[in-house]
Amino acid sequence: WGQRNNDGPPDLDELFKNLRDKFGGMFGGSSKGRIPKVPGGGGNLGGVIGFFAVALLIVWSLTGIYIVDEGWRGVETRFGERSAVTQAGPHWHIPWPVEDVELINVADIRTARHNSKMLTSAENIVVMSIEIQYNVKDAQSFAFEVRDPDLTLQQTAETAIREVVGNNDMDLIITEGRAVVGSATKEIMQEILDNYRTGINVVTVNMDEAQPPEEVLDAFEDAIRAREDEQRIINEANA
């Protein structure tokens, strides 16, 4: 770092001269004239600090550039509060921690499954398994109105399917009424999700499974076979 004067701190001009000599030797070239001296010795240090400050500001500003792909939406927030929703294309926002952006896919069809046991109108237990296909119709509501959209969807499906099954008997649910149950469940779910402003759009609700619990399945199948035998005997008698 150079020699220290006996009566004061080291001279800044001498300090920068030594630095130029060291870096010039490292890269195999002369460092003369690369950093101009400023009378008083403090100008060089201030210039270096200013240069790095400007460079950091430029790098920080570049981190605010983002691109929204087709079929996605960018939800911008400013200090955690919703600010704007951007469409597909390149965009810029004030970088973190002032603003942030969350990218949400609004084009893909998402799938969720729900399994549960519930009572029919005749108080019979039925095991249900449904598949829900949905997408996002409002990115801002999807990001802000509910804490956990997927959990909200599951709870809404539980509420809707219980209402539909509770208003029908088991025979309808496990036979020809599956399409009716799925359609009615979809309508109730969409109404609830819209009331909560979740931004979710239910596309279809399909019933994968509907049957009695395993504990009584054999007895239930015996009852079905008995009804089938009854109808067969009646048809034979009529013939």
Residue 201 pLDDT: 96
Closest CA to 116 of 76, 83, 72, 165: 165
For the chain, what percentages of helix, strand and coil (3-state, to nearest 5) are there? 45, 25, 30
Which residues, other chains included, contact 99 with Cβ-Cβ below 8 Å and sequence gap of 6+?
64, 76, 77, 78, 79, 83, 93
What pLDDT is stored for residue 2 in this prediction?
Answer: 46
Q: What are the Cα distances from residue 225, in Å, to 120, 215, 222, 232?
A: 21, 18, 5, 10
Q: 8-32, pLDDT tens digit by residue?
A: 555 556 655 665 665 555 445 544 4
Q: What is the pLDDT of residues 173-218, one digit of tens each?
A: 887 778 888 899 999 999 999 999 999 999 999 988 888 777 776 7
User: Please, what are the averages of pLDDT over each run of 10 residues along the chain (239 residues)?
Assistant: 49 60 52 49 72 88 90 90 87 89 92 89 86 94 90 94 90 80 93 94 90 74 79 93
Cβ distance 153 to 237 under 8 Å? no
Assessment of whether the complete model's pTM goes beyond 0.75: no
Q: What is the pLDDT of residue 21?
A: 65
